[in-house]
């Protein structure tokens, strides 16, 4: 079976590629860059931009299924850059599936599509947790549009499913954890609120397994076709415990300090204005969306994923921390 993975060179994308290769699939990755890790796996790489319809269609030619994992993430950037990657890119993937008669599309979404300011979600499921509104960042806006497009594309010729993994972490993370470590070592990391808000997280191999589980059960008219699913370790913990455990696993300083939500939100508003006005390089250290995310309880019921495609997290929090510590030590000694 030939499978296209968009964003196969990313953190989650590589984990998905590893699982698919291990099963004997011929895997093709569509990336903006080229990745030696994918070469080592035997994954064929196409280099291109998701907003380029011809490039996406060319990469999808001859495929039996698509895992659409690529996206522009983050809490800052021009709306147009997010729209091109997340909305236009997703539309192009759907169109490529139509053009080549590809019958299965697994889409990587995010729980952020249900974000509602600092409204807490405790054990929310896919039915009772509505899409968010009044988003203060381009990322959740464009991912919401994209998820809706993917689910609306489900029909008698194309089966689609959207997965919403929460806070993916583990060996190979080159985004979230390195930034946390850098800020912790510089003494610039604080909890927003008291840090006792419960949050979900997902070990990267569990997130990848959920994608493959959904793929295995996805078919025209199947139980999971046309539906979104929350994905996590199923083990919500406080933000304080989660962040300090990740930092501890890699030998970084623990975080004790905190800033009230109102102060963080106000600082985010000021920084957003400064970054737009001047403009300044990089991302603001705080935004309104980020303040809301960091201070709010967000954990979700994953029983629908278990029921409809048999997703059961295989690697628990503590085991994941051990694996993370081992690989981080190896990386530092290399």
Active site residues: 139
Chain-centroid distance, C-alpha 96:
22
The C-alpha angle 261, 266, 271, rounded to 5 degrees, equals: 125
The Cα 178–Cα 145 span in angstroms is 30
Alpha-carbon dihedral angle through residues 87, 93, 95, 96, given to the nearest 10 degrees: 160
Backbone angles phi, psi at 143, to 5 degrees: -70, -35
DSSP 64-100: SEEEE-----SS-S-HHHHIIIIIIHHHHHHHHHHHH
Kindly report the backbone phi and psi dihedral angles of residue 59, in degrees, each rounded to the nearest multiple of 5, phi listed first.
-65, -30
Eight-state DSSP code of residue 111: G
């Amino acid at each position: 079976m030939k499978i296209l993975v968009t964003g196969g060179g990313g953190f989650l994308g590589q984990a998905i590629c590893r699982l698919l290769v291990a099963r004997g699939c011929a895997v093709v990755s569509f990336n903006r860059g080229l990745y030696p890790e994918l070469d080592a796996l035997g994954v064929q790489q196409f280099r291109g931009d998701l907003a380029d319809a011809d490039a996406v269609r060319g990469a999808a030619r001859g495929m039996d299924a698509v895992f659409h994992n690529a996206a522009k993430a983050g809490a800052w950037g021009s709306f147009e850059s997010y729209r091109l990657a997340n909305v236009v890119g997703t539309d192009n993937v759907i169109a490529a599936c139509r053009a080549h008669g590809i019958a299965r599309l697994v889409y990587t979404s995010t729980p952020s599509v249900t974000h509602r300011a600092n409204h807490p979600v405790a054990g929310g499921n896919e039915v009772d947790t509505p899409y968010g509104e009044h988003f203060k960042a381009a990322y959740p806006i464009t991912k919401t549009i994209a998820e809706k497009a993917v689910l609306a594309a489900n029909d008698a010729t194309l089966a689609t499913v959207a997965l919403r993994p929460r806070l993916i972490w583990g060996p190979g993370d080159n985004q979230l954890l390195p930034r946390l470590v850098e800020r912790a070592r510089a003494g610039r990391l604080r909890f927003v609120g008291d840090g006792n808000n419960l949050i979900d997280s997902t070990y990267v191999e569990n997130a990848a397994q959920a994608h493959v589980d959904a793929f295995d059960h996805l078919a025209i008219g199947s139980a999971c076709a046309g539906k979104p699913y929350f994905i996590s370790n199923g083990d919500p913990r406080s933000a304080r415990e989660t962040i300090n455990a990740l930092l501890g696993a890699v030998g970084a300083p623990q975080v004790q300090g905190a800033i009230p939500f109102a102060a963080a939100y106000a600082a985010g508003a000021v920084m957003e204005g400064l970054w737009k006005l001047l403009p300044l390089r990089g991302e603001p250290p705080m935004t309104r969306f980020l303040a809301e995310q960091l201070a709010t309880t967000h954990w979700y019921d994953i029983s629908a994923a278990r029921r409809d495609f048999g997703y059961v997290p295989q690697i628990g929090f503590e085991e994941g921390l051990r694996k993370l510590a081992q690989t981080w030590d190896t990386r530092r000694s290399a």
